[in-house]
Amino acid sequence: MSNPLNVVALVLENHQGEILVAKRADHKHLGGMWEFPGGKVEAGESQLQAIIRETKEEIDFDLLTAKPLITTTHAYDEFTLTLDVWYHKANNPRVHPNEDQPLKWVSKSELSQLGMPDADKPIIQAIFNLSTSS
């Protein structure tokens, strides 16, 4: 098995308690599924630097601060994914799909009903744990 693919993702929550999700392009791995915005960590980049860059590139949101939520690893047939997930709550955040991917805000309870990759399932649980601990 090759080295794990290092990826960052953002759980962005708005003032109504909704979470932003993006739809993967049909031609990509797991195309058509919903996911949290993010992407690959580049060489020489910290996870925090990566999530700030990816958030700007993907959803045109200037992320100034975020806190670590969960790190999870998932093995797909083709590769292993290490996912560093960050959390940020913003009052009425303005987002724009720079990559023409559909974006939508969903309630936390809707997350488990969306078609999301298996690697995202521990993230959904962490979001619920966050809600009950605050």
In tens, the pLDDT along 64-123 reads 889 999 999 999 888 899 999 999 999 999 999 998 889 999 999 999 899 899 899 999
Tokens 């925090």, located at residue = 48
What is the value of pTM for the model shown?
0.92
Domains of the chain, earliest start first: 5-133 (3.90.79.10)
In tens, the pLDDT along 46-78 reads 999 999 999 999 999 999 889 999 999 999 888
Sign of CA dihedral 13, 19, 24, 29: positive
- H or E element at residue 2: none
CA distance 51 to 41: 8
CA distance 92 to 95: 9
